[in-house]
Structure 1
Amino acid sequence: MPPLPDDPSPPSRPWGPWAAIAGLVLGLSLAFAWVAGWIGPAARLTAPRLVDDIENGKPFPGFRRAHSRGVCVAGYFEPSAEAATLSRARVFRQPRTPVQGRLSIGGGDPFGAEAQARVRSLALSLRTDDGQEWRMAMNSFPFFAVATPAGFHAQLLASRPDPATGKPDPAKMAAFLERYPEAARFQAWAKSAPWSSSWANTEYNGVNAFRFIDAQGRSRFVRWSMQPQAAFEALATTTRQDAEADYLQRELAQRLAQGPLRWDLVVTEAAAGDPVDDPSQPWPASRPTHVAGTLVLERSEPQATGACRDVNYDPTVVPDGVALSDDPILAARAAAYSISFNRRERETARGDIARPAPTHGTEATR
C-alpha cells in the first residue's frame, strides 16, 4: 500500500491533524483504562480478572503469568538501506542498535518441558543512542486466535482441562467456537503446521498492526516478523516426547557457541481494506514486503539472573516513527502485562519464588 497522504484539512482549520492525533491518543488511553479496570462496570472483563484466570488459582510466584519459561538473549540490530524510507524511527537511521530480549515458550508453567510447547516466542527491547526504546513481543503463530480481549478470555476458559479427563471439555470448546468462529483458523494452524526444532529456526510474528511514519510525516499500516536465516528443521515427534525439560535452552547454547544467530526484520504493508484492528485476520500473501534490517543474537543467559528478568515487554512501547493502531488486543496486552509484571515484582521483592520439584534437566528460572 502506498503511504497514506498527509491530513488534507483546509488552512482555516489547522488544528485538524492535531485533533485527529489527540482523538487517537484519547481512544487508546480509554481502551487501556477500560481493559485495566479503571473505568466501566465492575462486572466486565478487566486486566486483573484476566490475569487471575490465566493463573487459574495456581500461580508461580516470581514468574511471568504467561510465557513463563524462557532465557535471556542479547545482541544488536542493523537496519537495511530501505528501512529509513519506511519510518523515521531512529533505529532505522543509526548503524547499529543494542538489543536485549527473551526467548520463551507458551504456557504458564516455568518448569514445563520446552519441546512440548506448541508456541515459541521472542521479545525484544531496542534502545537507540538518543534514549528512545522500542519493545516487541512476537510469537510463532502467524495470526491471533481471536479478535477481541473477550474472545481471548472465552478461549482461556474453554481450554481449561476437565479434572476428570485432563483435556478440555468438548462441549465448552464447541460453544466457544460457535461464538468465536475465527478461532477455527488458529486451531487448524496449530494442528497442521510443523513444529520448529529450535528457537533459532523459528519465525516470530508481530500479529498486531502498527503505523510506520516516514520523514515527511506520511504513514502506512504494517505488520512485521522476524524471519530466521537458519534453515527450518521440523522437530521430531520422538524428540518432542522424550527431550529433557530444557531442550530448547541447551540447543540454543550449542548454536550460539558456533556463532551469532540472525533473523531478518520483514515488514508487510497493508492495502486498502485490510483489517488493521483485528489480529485474527491474516493479510493476503501478495502484500508488499520489505527487509528492514537484521537482528543478530550473540549470547544467552538464564533469566533468573539475566537482563530480561525485570523487563515488561509491553508491545505498546514504541519510538517516534512507529505508532499504535486501534487494535483492542494491543491495549489488552499492555494492561495484562502490567498486572503480571507488578505481581511478580512484588513476589520477587518478598523472596516468594516458586521452586521446581527435583526433576532431571529442569532449571529454575524466572
Structure 2
Amino acid sequence: MNKFVKIALVSLLPLVSSQTVVAQEKTAVDMINLFEKLAGKQPGFRKAHARGVCASGEFMPNKSLSNYSTSELFKTDKVPATIRFSLGGGNPMADERAPGARGMAIQLKLPSGAMHNIVGNSTPVFAAKDPDTFFGFLETLIPGEDGKVDMRKVGQYVATHPSTQPAAAWQRTAKTPYSYANTEFFGLHTFFMNDSNGNETKFRWHTTPDLGVKVIEKEALATLENGFLEKHLTEQFANETISYTISISLGRKEDTNIDPSQAWPADRPTEVMGKLTLTSVGGKACDSINFDPNVISAGFKSSDDPVLRMRSPAYAVSFGKRLSGQ
C-alpha cells in the first residue's frame, strides 16, 4: 500500500455537515459509502479501524483535576474500562506489518452508570482541517479503471491543501509499532473541562505507554507474521504489567480549538489525567460498543471542531450497519 493511501486510511473519521439533521445523515451515509469504496465492503465489521483487539482495564483518575472539572470521574478511586486497539482503515485483514497509524478507544464506566469515551490515534495530527478537505482527499484515492490510484492526482491535492501536509509529513517517517503496549496515542481534538464556577479549561489528551515506545525496523518486518500485534500484546500481558499514563495539555487562547490538523506547541503545561492498567486481553466486550468520542461525562464539553462534531452521525451509521451484518 502506498504512503498516501495509508495516510487516508489512518482513521477514516466520519465527517458531515452540521446544518440540518437530514444533511448530517445524508453526508454520513456518503462518507461510509466512500470508506467501502476504499476498503471494500466488509459486512459485519467497523467501517473504520476494522481490524483490532479488545481488552479490559481499570482507570485510576487524578482526583486533583476536580479543580478543573465537576465530572464524577475525578471523584472516584478507579473505574472499569473497555479498550479497543486497532489499525486504521476498513479492511479487517489489513497487514499489521505496514507502518502507519494505530488507534486506541477507551470507554470508562462511571459510578452513576454514565459512559465517558476517550478516542485517539498514534498520529499527532489529523489528515485534514475539516470535513470537506478530508472528503476531497479521500476521493483522490479511489482507484481508476486500471485498479490503480493516480498518485500524481493525490500529490497535487496534498500540495494545494496545506492542512493535509502535516499528516503526510508524519507518514513519511512513521515506523511499525512493536506492540499496542508500546505505542503512544494522541487525542486529535480539543475538549473543555468545566469547574463549579463555570470556568472552562481547554485541553487535548495524550497517552504514553509505561513500557516505553518501541518500533520495528524495516529490515525485521519480513520475519513477522501478520497478526503479531495481538500476539505481542497477549505475551506481554502474561509476563508484565501493561499500563498507560494519560496526560492532558492545557491550551492557551491562541491554540486552535477547531483544527485537528494542527498540533499545539509542545511547551504547553500538562497534567496527568490518570493511569490506565490492563486487566485482560481479548474477548468480545468491544463488539457492542460504539466508541463515539462525543460521549463524555458532565463536567466536560466537546469543542466546535467540525471533524469531532461530525463523527457522531457517521459512527452511528457504521454501528448500525455492523450490528445488522452489513
TM-score by length of 2: 0.89
Corresponding letter in the other structure for 1:130 = S
Task: Decide whether the 8 Å contact of 1:100 with 1:124 is kept in 2.
Answer: yes
Consecutive unaligned residues in structure 1, runs of 5 or more: 1-27, 39-45, 353-366
The 1:161/1:297 distance shift into structure 2, 3 A limit, reads: farther
Q: Which residue of 2 aligns with 1:36?
A: 24
Corresponding letter in the other structure for 1:320 = A
CA distance in 1, matches of 2:20, 2:219: 44
Query: CA RMSD for the aligned pairs?
Result: 2.0
Task: Decide whether the 8 Å contact of 2:191 with 2:301 is kept in 1.
Answer: yes
Task: Decide whether the 8 Å contact of 1:226 with 1:265 is kept in 2.
Answer: yes
Corresponding letter in the other structure for 1:109 = N
Task: Decide whether the 8 Å contact of 1:100 with 1:125 is kept in 2.
Answer: yes
CA distance in 1, matches of 2:145, 2:114: 48
- Displacement of 1:297 in angstroms is 1.2
Equivalence map 1:172-183=2 (5 Å): 172-183=153-164
Q: Which residue of 2 aligns with 1:201?
A: 182
The 1:176/1:32 distance shift into structure 2, 3 A limit, reads: farther
The 1:259/1:163 distance shift into structure 2, 3 A limit, reads: farther
Q: Deviations over 1:294-328 (max 9, x none)?
A: 011121114xxx11011110001010111010010
TM-score by length of 1: 0.80
Corresponding letter in the other structure for 2:208 = Q
- Among all aligned residue pairs of Structure 1 and Structure 2, give the percentage whose two residues are the same amino acid: 31
- Displacement of 1:178 in angstroms is 3.8
- Displacement of 1:241 in angstroms is 3.7
CA distance in 2, matches of 1:177, 1:271: 29
Consecutive unaligned residues in structure 2, runs of 5 or more: 1-15
Q: Secondary structure at the match of 1:60?
A: coil
The 1:232/1:30 distance shift into structure 2, 3 A limit, reads: closer
Q: Which residue of 2 aligns with 1:315?
A: 293
Equivalence map 1:1-366=2 (5 Å): 30=18, 33=21, 36-37=24-25, 46-56=27-37, 58-162=40-144, 164=146, 166=148, 168-302=149-283, 306-347=284-325
CA distance in 2, matches of 1:32, 1:209: 23
Corresponding letter in the other structure for 2:25 = G
- Displacement of 1:332 in angstroms is 2.1
Q: What count of residue pairs does the alignment treat as equivalent?
A: 310
CA distance in 2, matches of 1:162, 1:219: 48
Q: Which residue of 2 aligns with 1:14?
A: none
CA distance in 2, matches of 1:309, 1:130: 23
Task: Decide whether the 8 Å contact of 1:260 with 1:299 is kept in 2.
Answer: no
Q: Secondary structure at the match of 2:107?
A: strand
- Displacement of 1:202 in angstroms is 0.7
Q: Deviations over 1:59-83 (max 9, x none)?
A: 1100001100001110110012432
Indicate the larger mover: 193-202 or 120-129: 193-202
Task: Decide whether the 8 Å contact of 1:210 with 1:222 is kept in 2.
Answer: yes
